[in-house]
Structure 1
Amino acid sequence: MEHELKTLTTRLLAQRWLPRNDKLVRRALVDETFRHELDRRLADVGLRLLDNPYAAHVGVALQPELAEPVFGAGREYAASNMGLTRDEIALLVIIWSLIVLPKRERQVTRRERVDDGQTDMFGGDKPVAHGDAVSGTLTEASLIADFGPRLGGRTKVRNFMLGKLARLGFIERRNGLISEGPLLDLALDYRVMADRIIHGTLGEVLAAAGHPMPEANAFAHADRLADALPDDEVAEEAR
């Protein structure tokens, strides 16, 4: 077990995120002793495992009490500890809203993007799906047309802001399409953001641009599911 723990810890530190279906990650999700030791080793250097059963990856982050001592000296920490400007954070939240919120609704209702909800009477018994089956894409052209003028101009969004979000692992860009990156659903806390977006000003802005938001009750159900399941069942759900 020692070698596996050292390997997983090192890979998490070096690669920043790993897929949930990775052999050692799956062991950390179902083996209580292994997970406890992994958490201890990460805690020794001020880190914690980011593990969201609805996300396709796991990663590491600072323990909350260490964010200020580590990042507080930098002026950019007022906006983001990843060097994002306010405009870039706004774009990130918009993309999160348009990709992750609909994806979460599909995951909670056990539907896939091509499913109208009537093809499988036992869909509610399925494990939570990940990847292309539930995660949609955005076209860069439509995103820029809808929100570019509000975020500093189309050229800035296309040539600089989207590239930065891709380098940080929040999104992936391919053939004019934007899809979910490893950190998009992992690093942003939907428990905090979903209700604020749906019932807040951003929800109205998105709806006005032709992007209506899902109903909030799906996210309340998602919270209850994640909180109620024991760790081994959460891991099984996430597979």
Structure 2
Amino acid sequence: MEQDITSLTARLLAHRWLPRNDVQVRRALVDEAFRHELEQRLANVGLQLLDNPFAEHVAVGLKDDVLDSVFGGRDYQASTMGLTRDEIALLIVIWALIILPKRERQLGRRTREDDGQNDMFGQEKPIVHGEEVSGAVSEASLLADFGTQLGGKTKIRNFALGKLARLGFIERRGGYILEGPLLDVLLDYRVLADRIINGTLADVLAAVGRQLPTQSDLDDELLEEEFGGDAESHE
């Protein structure tokens, strides 16, 4: 166990993230003693294991109690991985367009090609990860919708998207933006989802013709999948 923990700790520090299906990562997720020792070693240097069961990767990040000592007294960008406010806004928009629909599919145990209508036992399936549930956003569409609001099309295309890709938040393939290894790990769904669905970003998306489902819509859809009828009939 000692060698495996040393190896996994070193790999996490070197690569910042690892896939959940990695042999040593899988052991850390199911072996309580192994995980405890891993977390202790990371804690000794002010780090913690970031694990989201809906994400395809795990990562390491700073513990809350060392944030001030690491970033205290430094400028705004030091604590945001060097991202400007426009780039952070772009990141949140991409997160909303990719992760919110992805999470809805995961909770409904559906893939992008499957609407779940013919699967009576869908809720008993394990959570699906990867491109089966995570969609893509067209770069051209994103630039057309948000280019003006987020610093200009040229700046987004040539600089901002490249920076988000280098940091591991997104991947760019053939004119499309896909989920990167850190998009669903570093951004906390529990904090962001309600703020986005019910907050100011919903107004921004509506202004450019995009609409996010409300939490009520999501709840109704899940009830309909479970009971086969509308939510009102089960109140």
Distance in 2, Cα, partners of 1:9 & 1:203: 40
Question: Any unmatched runs of 5+ in structure 2?
Answer: 220-235
What amino acid is aligned across from residue 215 of structure 1 in structure 2? T
Distance in 1, Cα, partners of 2:81 & 2:72: 12
Structure 1 residue 133 corresponds to structure 2 residue 162 = no
The answer on whether the counterparts of 1:105 and 1:214 sit within 8 Å (CA) in structure 2 is: no
Which residue does the alignment assign to 1:199? 198
Distance in 2, Cα, partners of 1:55 & 1:206: 25
Supply the RMSD in Å over aligned alpha carbons: 1.5
What amino acid is aligned across from residue 88 of structure 1 in structure 2? E
The answer on whether the counterparts of 2:86 and 2:150 sit within 8 Å (CA) in structure 1 is: yes
Which residue does the alignment assign to 1:20? 20
Q: How many residues align?
A: 219
Distance in 1, Cα, partners of 2:118 & 2:147: 38
Q: Cα deviations across residues 11-59 of structure 1 (Å, max 9, x unaligned)?
A: 0000000000000000000000000000100000000000000000000
Structure 1 residue 38 corresponds to structure 2 residue 56 = no
Q: How does 1:140-155 map to 2 (within 5 A)?
A: 140-155=139-154
What amino acid is aligned across from residue 66 of structure 1 in structure 2? V
What amino acid is aligned across from residue 27 of structure 1 in structure 2? R
User: Which range is displaced more, 82-91 or 107-116?
Assistant: 107-116
Which residue does the alignment assign to 1:117? 116
Distance in 1, Cα, partners of 2:209 & 2:131: 23
Q: How does 1:175-214 map to 2 (within 5 A)?
A: 175-214=174-213
Q: Indicate the structure (1 or 2) with the bigger Cα radius of gyration.
A: 2
Query: TM-score if structure 1 supplies the norm length?
Result: 0.88
Which residue does the alignment assign to 2:75? 75
Q: Cα deviations across residues 97-148 of structure 1 (Å, max 9, x unaligned)?
A: 0000110011011111111221311111110000111000001000000000
Percent identity reads: 67
The answer on whether the counterparts of 1:98 and 1:211 sit within 8 Å (CA) in structure 2 is: no
